[in-house]
Amino acid sequence: MPVPKFTVLPSSQLAMTGLRPPKTYTKFADLKTAILAKAEQLQTRDVTQYLSYKHVSAETFSYIETHRDALGGKVALTYFPDISTMLVKVPTPEHESVHTNVAEEVNLQCRSMRITRDEFLSLGATKYVGPTASAKEADASWINPTLRPQFDWPLLVIEAGVSESMPRLRQDFAWWISHSGGQVHIVLVIKVTRTTKTVVLEKYIPKQAVYPRTRARAALPPVYVPDRVSITTVDHGVSPPTVEGDRVILEFERVIGRPPVPPERDIDLTPAILIDATRFVFRR
């Protein structure tokens, strides 16, 4: 099926250049130093996981990608070539633990329905490139390779981070939905707060943005934006742990890209499953 034309959200909005102005990129060694310093900060405090740089040429970004193993740790990169801006996300053990274990539960439920990799293939942190040549990596992503080529847009994406990273995480999921033109069907965002030992899961689906009806606006293609449809809090700061809010349901048709055939069913992350999947997040 051909992809309909659409308009993406401005890169300056997604990169938050107005609210959080980027620093000027200088050299690779300085970037490595900043990443190591950020990783050290994150050991003890819930500070933002993101570093932002301007004046990053396409050639410079390509060099950073090629030599990322020399940066001193695993990082996720997002690049906006139209504004020469790069975002660097520095992971934490909590962030890695929560998205890995939630992703494992999603995989387990699919396999229990005999959904094989022919229809539900994990692509991990594969890089995706949007229509403006902006590039981004997810924490976890899945595609149905029977319906879509392996390097087409994923159907399901997970993004995770510590609480102070939430403003950036909100732009992360907006990037997936906007740049894919709504082809990413679900983005599950997971926020970890170490001080309160809570995990918040927010589920987003695409919707067309509604703007004032003008002749100029009517001539433009649609814009897809995220619509939050559920929010759930897992609290490990109390004994026993509790779960409040919406049930986390990942609809089969959104995740796999086709209607379910019984006994196939929606993926249901029940309160018991969420408590179990997140119980090791706060081990430190």
Residue 6 lies in a domain: no
- Residue 105 confidence (pLDDT): 96
Mean pLDDT of the 149-157 span? 87
**1: in domain:** no
In one-letter notation, the amino acid at residue 113 is M
Q: Which amino acid is at 60?
A: T
The pLDDT of residue 4 is: 46
17: Cα separation from own chain's centroid:
19
Residue, of 233 and 209, whose pLDDT is higher: 233
pLDDT tens digits along 71-108:
987 899 999 999 999 999 998 888 889 999 999 999 99
Burial class (CB in 10 A: 0-12, 13-18, 19+), 1: exposed
Q: Is 15 part of any domain?
A: yes
**148 is in which domain, residue-wise?**
11-278
Residue 259 is assigned to a structural domain of this protein: yes
User: What is the identity of the amino acid at 128?
Assistant: Y
Q: Is the pLDDT of residue 217 over 80?
A: no
The yes-or-no verdict on residue 45 having pLDDT over 60 is: yes
Banded pLDDT at 240 (limits 50, 70, 90): very high
Name the least confident of 40-44, 144-148, 243-247. 40-44
Pairing label, strands 267-269, 127-129: unpaired
Query: Does residue 49 surpass a pLDDT of 60?
Result: yes
Phi then psi for 95, rounded to 5 degrees? -65, -45
Tokens 């890209």 found at: 257
Tokens of residue 177, six digits? 């939905």
Under a CB-based contact definition with an 8 Å cutoff, are residues 244 and 232 in contact? yes
Report whether pLDDT(175) > 60: yes
Across the range 48-61, mean pLDDT stands at 96
Q: What is the CATH number of the domain that holds 105?
A: 3.90.1570.10
The CA-to-CA distance between both ends of the chain, in Å, stands at 48
For residue 4, is it within any domain?
Answer: no
Helix axes 58-66, 28-42, angle to 10 degrees: 60
Query: What is d(CA 35, CA 75) in angstroms, rounded to the nearest whole number?
Result: 8
Report if residue 3 sits inside a domain: no
Q: Is the pLDDT of residue 191 over 50?
A: yes
Domain assignment of residue 103, yes or no: yes
Residue 52 lies in a domain: yes
State how many domains the chain has: 1
Give the single-character DSSP code of 193. E
For residues 94 and 116, give the distance between their C-alpha atoms in angstroms, rounded to a whole number. Answer: 29
Q: What is the mean pLDDT of the chain?
A: 90
